[in-house]
Amino acid sequence: MKVPKVLILRTAGTNCDVETATAFKLAGGDPVLVHVRELIGGKVRLFDYAVIAIPGGFSYGDDISAGRVLANELRGHVRDLRSFVRSGRPVIGICNGFQVLVKAGLLPQTPSGEQTASLTVNDSNRFESRWVRLRINLQSQSLFTRDLPEMIELPVAHGEGKFVVKSPKVLETLKKTRAILMQYVNEEGKFSSYPHNPNGSLFNIAAITNPEGNCLGIMPHPERYLTRYHHPNWTRQTFCKEGIGLEIFRNAVRFVKD
Amino acid sequence: MKTETPRQDPTDAPGAEFALRDSGPEELGRLNSRFGWSLDAHELKAVQDHFRSLRREPTRAEIESIAQTWSEHCKHKSFTSPICYQEGKTTRRIKNLLSETVMEATRKLKKPWCLSVFEDNAGVVAFDKKWALAYKVETHNHPCVLEPYGGAETGVGGVVRDVLGVGLGAKPVLNTDVFCFCPPDYAKPLPEGILHPRRTMTGVVAGVRDYGNRMGIPTAAGALWFDEAFRFNPLVFVGTVGLMPVSAVRKKVLPRDLIVAIGGRTGRDGIHGATFSSAAIDESSSIAAVQIGHAIQEKRVLDALLRSRDAGLFRAVTDCGAGGFSSAVGEMAERSGSKGGARVELDRALLKTTDLEPWEIWLSESQERMVLAVPPENLPALSVIMEREGVEFCVLGEFTDSGRLEVAIAGRPIVDLDLAFLHKGLPRRERRAVWNPPAPAKASARKTDRALHRSRCPEILHWILSHPNVCSREWIIRQYDHEVQAGTVIKPLQGLHHDGPGDACVMWPMAITGDPEYFRGFAVAHGLNPAFGKLDPYAMAMACVDEALGNLACVGADVTHAALLDNFCWGDPEDPAALGALVRAAQGCRDAALAFQAPFISGKDSFHNVFTDEKGKKTSIPGTLLISAIAPVPDIRQALTMDVKAPGNHIYLMGWTSDELGGSLYEAWSGQPAGNAPLVEPHSAREALWSLSAAAQKGLIATAHNLSEGGLAVAAAEMAIAGDISMHIDLDEVLRTKGVADPVTILFSESPSRFLLEIAPDKERAFLQAMKGVPLARIGATIANPVLRVTGLDGCPIIEESLHDLRHSWRETLPRLLDGVPCDDGRRS
């Protein structure tokens, strides 16, 4: 069977591109690192790829606000991205990539394409790097979380990850369309405050999807949990989990292959 | 530093000359301090003689180039000049301290896996047959006094560029940070212009965080030390490890290669950074000597540089650090052909502002710039990559074989220097060094003290756990993205709730090598203890090497292939006592390296960490040595953490406990001198360490933790806190040297080369077999009950403290000192 081509979009300040590419490679894809200039210059066409990933980092240093500059570049130059999402192919934005998807108006998905949410400065007012527990919404249509357990662990590392919305209606729509994919919880699977919710996100939101389930924006880093050795507790005698982050990439590749 | 801004001076005009040849010593001294060259009288005389023999006056650009090249930063003159060393009644002459101590050990050990030592921007060792590791640790102390955030940022930027500029460039895979500060709750008055330590600390941490995080390099190893002696001169050590193909370790420059500068533009920021490092800080020190950092610009340079390297487009690269173009081009010019040489046309440099003087362009330390030696035919391909990555570049000139460094602007020469004079003309002057060992403390008084303190052991334990030098560093570590690049398999915070203090971090560069079935990794650890250094710098150096290597063994690294880096931060080299202490420390480094068979591969020194107040009173830092160690981890699947794993396992203590409380935390608690600093017995320590390392790699050990600050009591508490499983230990079982007969000494002695180990019962036989000949005693067991229990020599309980309380003492310090809020435990218990 053909190996699906995965476009890993990078720009100045992208710094999780290599491990995201590794993740797709281990998942059975064929990742290609593409600089946003090649896309804007027309050298690369989005529709030549089966999957698009926007990895984490500090695109352009996040000097204005996280992901803003790259989002504007994409919005202005790459209208194709919206039709790519509409075509049903998988798109994943991780950390800074999630911020880009939100600021480009792709997530939460609206008919007009306007930006209705934002990821803003953490409540703790500083960068936070820690492992968190997440509860997956099993009712969601997301292709990325198929066959995943309800509770997983992943690391977060960000200074601007607090999910906020423009109006209460946006949250209502997210709930109604089952677009809230992952929420921060404590060991017991219940909602809890800092540090379980590392940034103070509204409704403990860690990841959202479009209602169709092919476009994922996720604050934690699945590409940093590809093997058991990435988990902080793997040296403990009773530890028996495998790299759950890899499953998210496998799901994307599997979906395209089917 | 006494640099006025001499902008209106007629000697600033391009090509204008100084009347140097006819100046007397006083006039030379006046020019020196006026222009901030930081040259001493002998060096000024050598410059004067050189230009007398040429029968012309130097230009400003020439004399600035010489001052930068001869600076402490670039030439390490205090460390390499002759010393007349007096120890007690004996006196001997040392020709070159660096070469006779630190470098001698490396020469004698002749390790084939040392690929490049003391010659390039970083030390390089083999990782495996295909890959090599480059490691460099820098200090950025002087800039952080004036501007903590900017100083720390550019410190990180600088050391990252060192690694980018080693060989043909290495990809940075790990950053390390070590700080020495004054305690943040310091309440006594400080002179004007000196920032409060709390502000210094938060600024430095933020600077390291922002630069490292934005570059996408995990900051995952470090150390922290507080002492009021650092109130005027905080120490900021930043390090970077890079991974490169073995084929990229060597660089060469051929005549006719183009000199290509890439990255940031040149501005007025950071003029005189190198000469600044040769001077003491005082109230007039200029903030213009601190550069401005831009992490994303450097990330672009990194991306573009490594892509060009993989395409084979250049033959050599070096970074623009101290001294700017003058140092970078000067260093590379030395490698060109047989005689070396370079011809530069400065008008081609890309500038931030148009009003720069030629010498300023030549000397500016603007950040994020690298210089490449590019064969002319590769320029078009290089420009394609640079353009795509958004990196500006310019061709400054070409390398030659004329033996001269020639710089011109608008066709007018401003520098025409003999390379041999520039690099080898520095006059060596003998300095005097004296070492007098301090008198030992009285033994009888100590004994009564400790008998009295017996009942206060729990209180002492809590006090030490909450001491800033021991307490949890989580406040700092969580701000660093320590898992970017997805290779940090043993993290700085370990254990069930991810809050235990790891001995070292282990990196698995799988995302770069690309093979998930290849489990080779590497570990990095540090050793630092200025408190020992106050008693005996020799003992400090030994203890630092012992600690760093011990930390590596505790995570499962192969210490038979460990390499060391030294960073000396010292006071005034003209002070014979300070220089004597340096000689002692350097000898300690040599003896430890030889005994442990761990070569030094790179190092750096920072002198003049002295503050002069308005009355002329000088305050110096205690001589401080940082040892950084790096070693391969043959199989990361056998790596270890320090958290207790399960109840019912055996607890072993490895090594002898002696009455060595000098410089210890117990001494700090009691406020009374407590004796000598611990002295390592390196040969037996090496044998034991190698056995431990081998047993760990065989998977025979469940948990290992190095005993350092606070001794046995603290190590046991840390392991229990991290695992949320406690232990019971019996002090009567501890191996102790003659005369050690009280629980206070056993619990809090900081004797080196000791490890607390957790062994599963089914592995015990094999473990003991593997550890034959090693001093080892089974002193207790792990228990499910969450209470740390210690029984004394008479079998009576001495400590029974709940893990919850111990954890609270250990975790609350930094949040309280820095945020002013009690710590959130992170859990609802």
Closest-approach residue (CA) in chain A for B295: A61
Peptide bond into A4 cis (omega under 30): no
Give residue B5's pLDDT band: very low, low, confident or very high (50, 70, 90): very low
Neighboring chain A residues of B491 at a CB cutoff of 8 Å: 232
Q: What per-residue confidence (pLDDT) applies to B452?
A: 84
Rounded mean pLDDT, B728-740: 94
**In this model, does residue B6 exceed pLDDT 50?**
no
Q: Identify whether B41 is part of a domain.
A: yes
- CATH of residue B44's domain is 1.10.8
**DSSP state, residue B713:** H
The model's pTM is 0.93
pLDDT of res. A63: 66
Based on C-alpha coordinates, what's the Rg of chain A?
A: 17
* Cα–Cα dist B587/B97, whole Å: 9
Residue B407, in any domain of the structure: no
Determine, yes or no, domain membership for B14.
yes
Q: So what's the pLDDT on residue B37?
A: 86
Residue B53, token pair as written in the block: 């023999």
- CB–CB contact B484 A236 (8 Å): no
Cα maximum dimension of chain B: 88
Taking the CA of residue B693 as centre, how many other CA atoms within 13 Å lie in the half-sphere pointing to its CB? 24
Closest chain B residue by Cα to residue A225: B486
Kindly tell me if the per-residue pLDDT of B12 is higher than 50: no
Residue A95 known to be catalytic:
yes
Amino acid at A143: L
Burial class of B442 by CB neighbour count within 10 A (0 to 12, 13 to 18, 19+): exposed
Summarize pLDDT for B641-689 with one digit per residue, the tens: 999 999 999 999 999 999 999 999 999 999 888 888 999 999 999 999 9
Question: Is the pLDDT assigned to residue B791 strictly greater than 60?
Answer: yes
Q: Are B212 and B480 in contact (CB under 8 A)?
A: yes
User: Mutation test of the interface with chain A: which of B215, B301, B303, B640, choosing the one with the most A Cβ atoms within 10 A?
Assistant: B303
Residue B659 included in any domain: no
- What pLDDT does A1 receive? 61
Q: What is the separation of C-alpha B651 from the centre of its chain, rounded to a whole number of angstroms?
A: 33
| DSSP designation for A4 | P
Question: What is the three-state SS of B90-105?
Answer: EEEEECCHHHHCHHHH
State the total domains in chain B.
1
Backbone angles phi, psi at B786, to 5 degrees: -80, 55
Q: Within a domain: residue B52?
A: yes
Tokens of A227: 């093997």
| Partners of residue B216 in chain A, C-beta under 8 Å | 14-16, 57-58
What's chain B's average pLDDT?
Answer: 91
Beta bridge partners of B83: B94, B431
- List pLDDT tens digits, range B411-446: 999 999 999 999 888 888 899 999 988 776 666 667
Q: CB–CB of B511 and A19 under 8 A?
A: yes
Is A240 known to be catalytic? no
The predicted pLDDT at position B535 comes to: 93
The predicted pLDDT at position A77 comes to 65
Report how far residue B707's alpha carbon sits from residue B102's, in angstroms, rounded to the nearest whole number.
Answer: 26
Determine, for residues A235 and B389 on separate chains, whether the beta-carbon distance falls below 8 Å.
Answer: no
Count CB-CB contacts under 10 A for residue B437. 12
- Dihedral sign of CA atoms A207, A209, A213, A215 in order: negative
What domains can be seen in chain A, in order of their start residue?
Answer: 5-257 (3.40.50.880)
Domain assignment present for residue B22? The answer is yes
Count helices and strands (H / E) in chain B: 30, 33
Closest CA to B486 of B516, B460, B465: B516
Query: How many C-beta atoms lie closer than 10 Å to residue B737's C-beta?
Result: 12
Separation CA B385–CA B698 (nearest Å): 46
- pLDDT cut 70: percent of chain B above it: 93
Helix (H, G, I), strand (E, B) or coil at B666: helix
Residue-number span of the structural domain to which B62 is assigned: 10-69
In this complex, is the C-beta atom of A228 within 8 Å of any C-beta atom belonging to chain B?
Answer: no
Q: Which residue of A has its CA nearest to B819?
A: A124
Nearest chain A Cα to B505, which residue? A232
B143 lies in a domain?
A: no
Question: Biggest alpha carbon distance in chain A?
Answer: 53
What are φ and ψ of residue B451, in 5° steps?
-60, -40
Burial environment of residue A1 by CB neighbours within 10 A (0 to 12, 13 to 18, 19 or more): exposed
Is the ipTM here above 0.90?
A: yes
Q: Which of B388, B484, B507 is the best residue to mutate to test the A interface, defined by the most A CB atoms within 10 Å of its own CB?
A: B484
Give the span between the Cα atoms of B263 and B182, in whole angstroms. Answer: 36
Each residue's pLDDT expressed in tens, for chain A with a length of 258 residues: 689 999 999 988 899 999 999 999 999 999 999 998 888 888 888 999 999 999 998 877 666 666 777 877 777 666 788 899 999 999 999 999 999 999 888 999 988 888 999 999 999 999 999 999 999 999 999 999 999 999 999 999 999 999 999 999 999 999 999 999 999 999 999 999 999 999 999 999 999 999 999 999 999 999 999 999 999 999 987 777 789 999 999 999 999 998
Interchain pair B516, A26: CB under 8 A: yes
Taking one residue from A and the other from B, the number of pairs with CB-CB distance under 8 angstroms is 121
Q: Is A224 on the interface with B (CB under 8 A)?
A: yes
User: What is the predicted pLDDT for the residue at A113?
Assistant: 84
Contact A19 B295 (CB under 8 A): no
User: Which of these, B642, B665, B651, B648, lies nearest to B747 by C-alpha position?
Assistant: B665
CA distance A212 to chain B (A): 30
Q: pLDDT tens digit string along B477-508?
A: 999 999 999 999 999 999 999 999 999 999 99
What sign results for the dihedral spanned by CA atoms B358, B359, B364, B370?
Answer: positive
